[in-house]
Structure 1
Amino acid sequence: MSLSVLFLYCMIFASSFFLMINALTCRQDQIQALMQFKNEFESEDCNRSDYFNGVQCDNATGAVTKLQLPSGCFTGTLKSNSSLFGLHQLRYLNLSHSNFTSSSLPSEFSNLKRLEVLSLASSGFTGQVPSEISNLVLLTHLNLSHNELTGGLPLVRNLTKLSVLDFSYNKLSGAIPYDLLPSLPFLSYLDLKKNRLTGSLDVPNTSSSPRLVYLSLGYNLFEGQILEPISKLTNLTYLDLSSLNISYPLDLRVFSPLKSLLVIDLRENRLLPASLSSDSDILLSLDSLYLVQCDIIEFPNILKTFQNLKLLDISNNLIKGKVPEWLWKLPRLSIVNLVNNSFTGFEGSSEVLLNSSVQIIDFAYNSMTGEIPVPPLNSMYYSAWNNSFTGNIPLSICNRSTLVVLDLSYNNFTGPIPQCLSNFKALKVVNLRKNSLEGSIPDEFYSDALIQTLDVGYNRLTGKLPRSLLNCSFLKFLSVDNNRIEDTFPFWLKALPNLHVFTLRSNRFFGHLSPLDQGPLGFPELRILELSDNSFTGSLPPSFFLNWKTSSPIINKDGRMYMGDYKNTYYIYEDTLDLQYKGLFMEQGKVLTSYSTIDFSGNKLEGQIPESIGLLKELIALNLSNNAFTGHIPPSLANVTELESLDLSRNKLSGNIPRGLGSLSFLAYISVAHNQLKGEIPEGPQFSGQAESSFEGNAGLCGLPLQGSCLEPPTQQPKEEDEEEEEEILNWKAVVIGYWPGLLFGLVIAHAIASYKPKWFGKIVSTDKGKEVDPVRLFMTLDSRWDSFNDKDSVEQETDMKK
């Protein structure tokens, strides 16, 4: 029996065996209905095993009673005649995080009369909620959050068994139905956040308070009249009234009756100063308090009475002076966010935090000076970036074995980097960027080091790159730019399996960039490589970029993937990087890793630009300026379809500008100034919209945007250039073939086994393909380093701390 036949037989047997397993509990007609439902959509990311893992059937009847799709499983339109609506015995249906693009909610959901749980969150539904949804009288959980639903809040008075109701993050408008709470006696969780609702709540005047414990109404169009009825909900433990849109300051004392309240979020409301300084008997049980962007000018003394407080977020206010010493004596305090105020320091000595219970503290973006306080003993996250602290980094940090994130960047620290920072087992982030540190980078990284980000850019460091970095197998982000490090290119770092971002810009690196075997560079996961303004020499082989690839990215909640996925329940850390883009240096607050950038400018590189650059399909910025490259501009650049910024200026390039560059629809900046190019500048908006300076210094170039026009009539020169370009591509392909002499034989064998063709290179995934280019796509604000997480399915405290 041949290998290919054996492989096919095994696949058929596995498939049949799987069907047999499911047939033990699910009737065949039910399995067929489920498969028909799956086939109604694009489901490339939803294999059969994942799909059926979310299926349960009744042991007695064999009918499907539960269906939970894996996240992102289906793409397409959910139609009213879908086979889904024939599964009449369903009690639990979760289609959340599907891509039902431009689908309205079919009224046929009402056919599933036995449903107890219906979750359609984040699935792309639009339009109004059908009134027939109220026929599902057995529902206990209804979640339609994070869609594009419009119209009024649907009438759900018939759903008397509801305990969880979530319509948050839609576009619902109008008033809340007057009988919403009176008609739902078992409702404990109500989330209407981020809509366009108005009016008030009607709270029944009964002897017993409603069962509601979780209420989120933030970011709507409510006015002050909603506060009085909320004060009657005495069982509330969680309350979100962020951005209430009221015209007068909010008085905290209105919440005095809420004796059980644990979490309150009042961000983006103006607060009555008297209620912040009061020591009255209010909110004494409070666990978490969010007063973000409330125009507070003095530190709230009312916090002295909150002895149960664990989480305090007073970021983005106008508070001046020093942080009071009494704050750190609150016995249960563990998370403090003081970001973006006008604090000048801390009351007390440098050891004021020493005995505090705080584990996560962020006081970035203030005006603090002098010596930095010693971190608390159990610190996990310690961020002081963008202040004006001076002196040495305290050696007492070496005793904080629980520290995971240490960010002291953008200060005025001097002296050496403590040696201990290279041998912490728990540390994942060390960011000392933009200080005045001296000496060398510590060279004591252990083999089990967890470090993922090391940023020591913009200091005065000397010496060489520490060879013990080879022990940091989790390292993703390495930045040593703008120092005085003198070393050769660290080819040895290619052994790091996860290195995504690597910048050596503006140091004293020297020597060749090409490997000794003149093969590919050998950093398979690299997305961003920044080597500008050093003294690298030599030429790059044609196959230099041949084996660059990228794994599938993890998409963040805003649709992108960022560096710095160091997630805690209460924070997410994101890396910062300076990139030269479209001729400008810009600081990027969130480092996207779903694209690729390369900057080799300001070195002494020569020879031809490798044709293999055309393999980097998702490259968005390429800067090879200020070198000594010769030969033609690679025609393969026309394959780099995501390219937005191209700088080849100040080299010795000759020949014509490839006309194929005119097909790059995202190309917004191009400079080929000061080369030896000739011929007519290609037509098209990518070229005509550039400044004249982008093409100056090329005596043989003519056409727009240069002044005047090409005087000579067209000749056969372009054809000759095309032939030369084609010859270059053929020569490059020959190099590729020569690099793998056994590739053809391997492909034949692979085809005989499984008809499988291995890829030579990976494609860097773009999340914005086909969209109009906007600078926002690259450069996000620095205010986003404190992000949020919000658990919609529990009545636990909301842990939403964002700047």
Structure 2
Amino acid sequence: MSQPCLHLRLISVLLLCCILFASHVLMITALVCRPDQIQALVQFKNEFESNGCNRSDYLNGVQCDNSTGAVTKLQLPSGCFTGVLKPNSSLFGFKHLRYLNLSHNNFTSSSLPFEFSSLKRLEVLSLSSNGFIGQVPSSFSNLIHLTHLNLSHNELTGRKVPEWLWKLPHLSLVNLVNNSFTGFEGSSDVFLNSSVQLLDFAYNSMTGELPVPPPNIIYLSAWNNSFTGNIPLQVCDRSSLTVLDLSYNKLTGPIPQCLSNLKIVNLRKNNLEGSIPDEFYSGGLTQTLDVGYNRLTGKLPRSLLNCSFLRFLSVDNNRIDDTFPFWLKALPNLQVFTLRSNRFFGHLSPPDKGPLSFPELRILELSDNNFTGSLPPSFFVNWKASAIKQGKVLTSYNTIDFSGNKLEGQIPESIGLLKALIALNLSNNAFTGHIPLSLANVTELESLDLSKNHLSGTIPRELGSLSFLAYISVAHNQLKGEIPQGPQFSGQAETSFEGNAGLCGLPLQGTCFAPPEQQPEEEDEEEEEEVLNWKAVVIGYGPGLLSGLLLAHVTASYKPKWYLKIVGLDKPKEVKPVRLFMSLDSRWDSYNNHVESESDT
């Protein structure tokens, strides 16, 4: 037999073995399960419309006990089933189930059946995002082996969370997010004997005082409710507590003096008073501190210098009266820093006249304060995180907002070093001089607002090379000459250029080339020469390329999704949440993703 034939047969045998092995892997789940269990699984599937999945998708989420052949795990594919989960469903015949996940299907208008209590061996029960209505049945109290309960994103209504839930002896994770619970049955220490470690009841309709956290709590989220009163002092006794999110409530009183113990602290949009505690000890683990939209006074605590892991710091919309905290540039990991709408004052240029160096800073919001003085030419030299061009990915978003202050002098040419800058807002100041030509080097720029200053000269035509520039405003300055043509400029609203008596050309009304009025011959020749010069400049530059999304300037009323995502974590009560920013009226989406990942862990 020839050598090529031997090779061909050998390859054929290997392919056949691979096919048989793959088939065995695909069928192993079905082979382990008893025939009656497989039949019950098919029957359960047939109780619903399941056009969104096939049998293999369905069986991939099934596990059976190797010795008994009974189904012990059932995880439905997302979006697979539609219909009503009835009390007589074959689901409740799987008495050996330990893990049941029906999340992200459509059991619209289904109440939670009492028959769940027949699954007495359940350890994990996830029913989130299904459209369940009504109340949590008291029969759930029979699920004494339950460790994880997820009822989030349903339409459970009308009553308080039952007290018996916290008596389940092994319960460690409870997720009640986005329902309509109005509070908790029992007293303020209803959690006192609970074993729960991860507890999330955000985005409900809860009122009254916040209950004392469980003794072993690690993660506590109660944002977007209507809790009143003080933050329980017992949070300082919870040594395991890592994440505390009480934002978007109506809490009053002081901030507890134990924040260094926590990695994430979000107290945004409450009615808290007093000053930020100066109790951040050396070696503290705080990574995120958001106390924006409260009634805080005093100064920024200098002990924040001890928070070497701090990445996100927001104190916006308070009444803090202080100078710019140059000392914070010593924090090696600070990425987001907002002081917006406070009473900060003084110069932004460091006392030593050197550059303002924040090695990892990506978002700096200082708008609506009382900062004064000029910015030295080297102001942006050592902003390394914004200078590294990282591509069009979420982690590269960089924003600088100095609007609404009293800054003066020229805009530093070093702004051109910030290659990854996405949005720049210097509006409502007193800047003078020309628009820096170096802005043409900021190739990722999408939003530029220089309005309401005292800028003079012409608009640099080089800005037409900014391919992603979707919003620009230079209104109410002292600019002159023709507005550069090209999609970056002609697509803007007329209001982006108004208030400059010397500007002409689209999108403003009128033209730079109107017929000259009858004048003496000598003046007529000069004007003709000037017009020809302008034409030469126009011909010398080609049109730009319009791409990217329309970004408005950094204001409290506008919240683009990219800004929400880098900080994440957006969540106003009046707006459906995910988690933080442009005006920081939302959340660090940093939070939601971080929160969910911790919950998964």
Local SS of the residue matching 1:256: helix
Per the TM alignment, residue 618 of structure 1 is displaced from its structure 2 partner at its CA by 1.1
TM-score normalised over the length of structure 1: 0.60
Question: 1:645 & 1:219 partners in 2: Cα distance?
Answer: 46
Local SS of the residue matching 1:342: coil
Which of 526, 531, 535 lines up with 1:714 in the alignment?
A: 531
Task: Check if 1:385 corresponds to 2:258.
Answer: no
Code of the residue aligned with 2:549 in structure 1: it is V
> Which position in structure 2 is the counterpart of 1:672?
474
Which of 42, 50, 53 lines up with 1:222 in the alignment?
A: 53
> Which position in structure 2 is the counterpart of 1:32?
none
Does the aligned pair in 2 maintain the 1:228–1:254 contact within 8 Å? no
What are the ranges of 5 or more consecutive residues in structure 1 without an aligned counterpart? 1-107, 115-134, 139-155, 166-180, 189-202, 562-591, 722-769, 792-797
Per the TM alignment, residue 270 of structure 1 is displaced from its structure 2 partner at its CA by 4.1
Task: Check if 1:539 corresponds to 2:370.
Answer: no
Per the TM alignment, residue 656 of structure 1 is displaced from its structure 2 partner at its CA by 0.5
The verdict on how the C-alpha distance between 1:469 and 1:187 changes in structure 2, with shifts beyond 3 A counting, is: farther
Does the aligned pair in 2 maintain the 1:293–1:316 contact within 8 Å? yes
Write out per-residue CA displacement over residues 205-251 of structure 1, whole angstroms, 9 at most, x where no aligned residue: 499999xxxx9xx9971389998999996543332214454442134
The verdict on how the C-alpha distance between 1:113 and 1:416 changes in structure 2, with shifts beyond 3 A counting, is: farther
Which of 297, 305, 328 lines up with 1:493 in the alignment?
A: 328
Question: 1:335 & 1:538 partners in 2: Cα distance?
Answer: 53
Higher mean Cα deviation, 255-264 or 471-480? 255-264
Higher mean Cα deviation, 281-290 or 337-346? 281-290
Code of the residue aligned with 2:193 in structure 1: it is N
Question: 1:532 & 1:428 partners in 2: Cα distance?
Answer: 27
Per the TM alignment, residue 299 of structure 1 is displaced from its structure 2 partner at its CA by 2.7
Higher mean Cα deviation, 339-348 or 251-260? 251-260
The verdict on how the C-alpha distance between 1:632 and 1:442 changes in structure 2, with shifts beyond 3 A counting, is: same
Per the TM alignment, residue 264 of structure 1 is displaced from its structure 2 partner at its CA by 1.5
What are the ranges of 5 or more consecutive residues in structure 2 without an aligned counterpart? 1-7, 514-526, 539-545, 551-559, 571-576, 580-590
Question: 1:185 & 1:347 partners in 2: Cα distance?
Answer: 43
Per the TM alignment, residue 550 of structure 1 is displaced from its structure 2 partner at its CA by 2.5
Question: 1:597 & 1:224 partners in 2: Cα distance?
Answer: 49
The number of equivalent residue pairs is 529
Task: Check if 1:296 corresponds to 2:132.
Answer: yes
Write out per-residue CA displacement over residues 611-631 of structure 1, whole angstroms, 9 at most, x where no aligned residue: 111111111100000101000
Does the aligned pair in 1 maintain the 2:109–2:131 contact within 8 Å? no
The verdict on how the C-alpha distance between 1:486 and 1:306 changes in structure 2, with shifts beyond 3 A counting, is: same
> Which position in structure 2 is the counterpart of 1:445?
280
Which of 295, 299, 324 lines up with 2:162 in the alignment?
A: 324
Does the aligned pair in 2 maintain the 1:356–1:377 contact within 8 Å? yes
Code of the residue aligned with 1:305 in structure 2: it is N
User: Which structure 2 residues correspond to residues 348-497 of structure 1 after superposition, within 5 A?
Assistant: 348-421=186-259, 423-424=260-261, 427-497=262-332
TM-score normalised over the length of structure 2: 0.79
Local SS of the residue matching 2:278: coil
> Which position in structure 1 is the counterpart of 2:17?
137
The verdict on how the C-alpha distance between 1:520 and 1:787 changes in structure 2, with shifts beyond 3 A counting, is: closer
The verdict on how the C-alpha distance between 1:310 and 1:289 changes in structure 2, with shifts beyond 3 A counting, is: same
Question: 1:615 & 1:671 partners in 2: Cα distance?
Answer: 21
Per the TM alignment, residue 185 of structure 1 is displaced from its structure 2 partner at its CA by 7.5
Code of the residue aligned with 1:304 in structure 2: it is S
Task: Check if 1:646 corresponds to 2:448.
Answer: yes
Per the TM alignment, residue 296 of structure 1 is displaced from its structure 2 partner at its CA by 1.6
Code of the residue aligned with 1:480 in structure 2: it is V
> Which position in structure 2 is the counterpart of 1:621?
423
The verdict on how the C-alpha distance between 1:640 and 1:523 changes in structure 2, with shifts beyond 3 A counting, is: same
The verdict on how the C-alpha distance between 1:283 and 1:489 changes in structure 2, with shifts beyond 3 A counting, is: same
Write out per-residue CA displacement over residues 399-431 of structure 1, whole angstroms, 9 at most, x where no aligned residue: 11110000111111111111223x42xx10111
Task: Check if 1:259 corresponds to 2:95.
Answer: yes
User: Which structure 2 residues correspond to residues 244-283 of structure 1 after superposition, within 5 A?
Assistant: 244-251=79-86, 253-271=89-107, 276-279=112-115, 282-283=118-119
Write out per-residue CA displacement over residues 60-111 of structure 1, whole angstroms, 9 at most, x where no aligned residue: xxxxxxxxxxxxxxxxxxxxxxxxxxxxxxxxxxxxxxxxxxxxxxxx9x96
Per the TM alignment, residue 376 of structure 1 is displaced from its structure 2 partner at its CA by 0.3
The verdict on how the C-alpha distance between 1:274 and 1:494 changes in structure 2, with shifts beyond 3 A counting, is: closer
Does the aligned pair in 2 maintain the 1:224–1:246 contact within 8 Å? no
Identical-residue share of aligned pairs (%):
63
The verdict on how the C-alpha distance between 1:498 and 1:207 changes in structure 2, with shifts beyond 3 A counting, is: closer
Task: Check if 1:286 corresponds to 2:122.
Answer: yes
Question: 2:58 & 2:29 partners in 1: Cα distance?
Answer: 21
Write out per-residue CA displacement over residues 162-193 of structure 1, whole angstroms, 9 at most, x where no aligned residue: 3xx5xxxxxxxxxxxxxxx3xx48977xxxxx
Write out per-residue CA displacement over residues 100-125 of structure 1, whole angstroms, 9 at most, x where no aligned residue: xxxxxxxx9x96988xxxxxxxxxxx
Which of 486, 491, 498 lines up with 1:689 in the alignment?
A: 491
Question: 2:108 & 2:247 partners in 1: Cα distance?
Answer: 35
Question: 1:490 & 1:292 partners in 2: Cα distance?
Answer: 44
User: Which structure 2 residues correspond to residues 33-112 of structure 1 after superposition, within 5 A?
Assistant: none
Question: 1:446 & 1:789 partners in 2: Cα distance?
Answer: 25
Per the TM alignment, residue 494 of structure 1 is displaced from its structure 2 partner at its CA by 0.8
Per the TM alignment, residue 715 of structure 1 is displaced from its structure 2 partner at its CA by 4.9
Task: Check if 1:663 corresponds to 2:499.
Answer: no
Per the TM alignment, residue 258 of structure 1 is displaced from its structure 2 partner at its CA by 2.8
Question: 2:149 & 2:466 partners in 1: Cα distance?
Answer: 49
The verdict on how the C-alpha distance between 1:615 and 1:486 changes in structure 2, with shifts beyond 3 A counting, is: same
Does the aligned pair in 2 maintain the 1:353–1:374 contact within 8 Å? yes
Does the aligned pair in 2 maintain the 1:500–1:593 contact within 8 Å? no
Per the TM alignment, residue 304 of structure 1 is displaced from its structure 2 partner at its CA by 1.7
Question: 1:228 & 1:541 partners in 2: Cα distance?
Answer: 66
Which of 110, 135, 146 lines up with 1:309 in the alignment?
A: 146
Question: 2:217 & 2:38 partners in 1: Cα distance?
Answer: 44
Per the TM alignment, residue 295 of structure 1 is displaced from its structure 2 partner at its CA by 1.6
Per the TM alignment, residue 594 of structure 1 is displaced from its structure 2 partner at its CA by 2.1
Question: 1:491 & 1:526 partners in 2: Cα distance?
Answer: 13
Code of the residue aligned with 2:447 in structure 1: it is S
| Greater per-residue helix proportion | 2
Code of the residue aligned with 2:164 in structure 1: it is W
User: Which structure 2 residues correspond to residues 517-528 of structure 1 after superposition, within 5 A?
Assistant: 517-528=352-363
> Which position in structure 1 is the counterpart of 2:349?
514
Per the TM alignment, residue 783 of structure 1 is displaced from its structure 2 partner at its CA by 3.2
Write out per-residue CA displacement over residues 648-679 of structure 1, whole angstroms, 9 at most, x where no aligned residue: 00000000001111111211111101100000
Which of 396, 399, 402 lines up with 1:597 in the alignment?
A: 399
> Which position in structure 1 is the counterpart of 2:172?
334
The verdict on how the C-alpha distance between 1:626 and 1:186 changes in structure 2, with shifts beyond 3 A counting, is: same
Which of 524, 528, 549 lines up with 1:773 in the alignment?
A: 549
Which of 439, 463, 470 lines up with 1:637 in the alignment?
A: 439
